[in-house]
Structure 1
Amino acid sequence: MARVLVVITPAEGHVNPSLGLVTQLIDSGEEIVYVCTEEYRSRIEQTGALLITYPFPQDAFSLDPVLKPQEYTHPYQFIYMMVGGIIQRIIPEVLRVIENQKFDYLIFDSLMGWGGTILAEKLAIPAVCSVASFAFVNPLGAGEGMQEMDTNTKELYDATMKITRALAQEFQVSIPAIEEIPVHAGELKLVYTSRYFQPQADQLDDRFIFTGPSIIPRQDAQTFSFERLRERYPQTVYIAMGTILNKNLDFYQLCFEAFGDLPVNVVLSSGKYTDMEPLADQIPSNFIVMPYIAQLEMLQHTDVFITHAGMNSTSEALYYNVPLVMIPLTSDQPLVANRVQELGAGITLNKYQLSVAVMREALLEVLSNPSYKQQACIIGESLRQAGGYKRAAKMIMSHMASIDRNVSNTKLFNK
């Protein structure tokens, strides 16, 4: 039995994909120490892992100026977020709370980038990178090129490398080039999608293990009577805009106007912390509005999913063969939406050009044109065949066992 350290960025879209893997590793005999924040205690402890926490603001990814989602127009913006928002704040805390503990290997979140390398080097253990989005052949914003160095990017570069040099000195590790900071490190890179869905998959070597989304039932999900839906209309549309950017009441009002008179059920997940009271008297009769819905269950009763195109939500929808209308807002969401549209499983809308007519036309197109459903089924099949968290756990344990055998053989040879 190995003792495993798991360190994942404290965000829904990063913690949730890791839960099935952690559960399977524990069921297979591994001991898991999961370092994260208090916010995720319930769902992490349900896996059987030992949780060790460190302080981190619960709303950091919504409000913190460094961490809050943005549109990256240059890779240095994304790299600065990693260094200044995540590595600098989390890696020292992780090393503090696990001080003097021993582990056999590490699983760390890809958003930590070079921070995962620091952990592995300081603990002298092999590492696996957990990639909750697409594996990035280039960092976000790289479409603009790394070569341009105007005043703003020069300031970003200087600020990023100042923090990087300080961290390298603090932990006595080598200073990476700025291009090396966001690279997916680790001996294995676990990607929660399929090779078919992954863009530019031909540029990724066989250290990238594509196992599909980690689909595991949530124990804290609210119950919902799905029988209510088919009693009203034969088709159901589900709307959910994620957990960070779901407080836009103007968008919800636009949905009411665009879909309120259609003969379809519309289920809107507004978010636990969204105050819908100002719109309470405007909710159409074909809408069901709830602060939280068990998404995996909901998607199995959904004909079209209207989403921000977050990687988790998109993958879960496609896993259940659901085509999409996507309104990407920030971060990697445009990349995810573009890939879905490229493969014919949905339509992408420009967030700056939304209107009642645009949204209504897109929804009716996806509802009525069977090609979107057909293409969603093709992607869904690739995701289901990828093996999921059971295959992920098996491959990680097999790889770590081979390392142990090689070390043992080397010691015997050198005696």
Structure 2
Amino acid sequence: MNIQTAIKPTNAEQALMDAFGQAVGSLPGDAAITTQRSTLLRTIKETGLPTRRRESWHYTDLRSLLRNVPAPGATAVKAVAPIVEGSTVLALLNGEAIKAANTGGLNVKSFAESLSDGSALKGLTVRDNDDFTGRLNGSFVRDGFVLDFPDGFESEKPVEIQSVQGGGQSHSRIPVRFGKSAKATVIERHVAQGETAALISSVSDITLGEGSEVTWIVMQQQGKDDSHFGQLRIKLGKSSKLRLYVINAGGQLVRQDLYIDVDGEHSELTLRGINLLGGDTHTDVTLVLGHNAENTNSTEIMRNVVFDRAKGVFQGQIRVAPGAQKTDAKMSCNTLLLSDEADFSAKPELEIFADDVICGHGATVADIDATHLFYLQSRGIPEKQARALLVQAFVQETVEELEDEVLVEALEGVITDWLEKHG
């Protein structure tokens, strides 16, 4: 006789169940959306948090790492000054959307409206059984922004989406459509205020129309005790171009999923990632990139700086679909490991089902080059300063690819401030 014993839920799993039970009656949405929320959460209840037995979570055993879930409720927060002066600011304060007075031709509505009228239902889905971030967000999401960049939209100033959190929990979603030939820069910024721990999930669904040119920057600066689960779901249309920057400079436990489908012929993706890791933090960036059409290009470069006892992960998979001939895809992951107790795991993968392609990947893990260090010291620069200069150059090289000098200077400032505190 087979006797099955139910696995006792962890404190974090039980806290999620309790939080949903308390919140479900006040979450926006019609009966169909409420049912979908319950379905998404039920899977977490039945299977538990992901463990290393699931391949996509092999390096991030969430059942062990996510030990506590903060109770809902947060201290009051305020919007912060934008990274680039003059930007259109769309603020999410403790998860509540605050619409800008002037959106400069951009069509904006709150995601809470889409939940209330039921139109958000088709978006509350998960990619697969391992999509914990999608399940968490779909279960608890209250608000966000629905953005539509009309055909031909063009603006010299960025749109900055600020998610400012004062502890507790926040779950937001940002569906975005870029119309034909639209050109825009969007900064998705996550900032912590206060000292209380927070649990944050954020999902951005981004669609690029034909001929659109988009720069999308994720700046994650959560608090030292925060858990951040971010996800980008991106589809590139014909002849579109996307420059995607993902910068992690905060958070205790961070998982950033990047699901990108290059669906349109002659489309181009440029991905640059920077992970600044210190203390005893754990950060996991997982990329699944599908080249699904002929004549598409992509380059992916990750730069990681790891201090103290921090742990980092990069899982990067490039899939070339059958018939996606003339694909040109290159991926690299380069890490500076600056402590004997630090750890970084890199897992690049290629799955190629076409025969006329150029694809490659590589990964390096090293300390600062002794020759470079000696060169600077021989010119009178003290060792500590020389090491700081080399680390800064290693990271900022990717940022300098941006053409906007103001934006480059602003991002370099964020990187410099972090390195000064942790170097």
Shorter-chain TM-score bucket reads: under 0.3
TM-score normalised by the chain length of structure 1: 0.26
**Normalised by the size of structure 2, how large is the TM-score?**
0.26
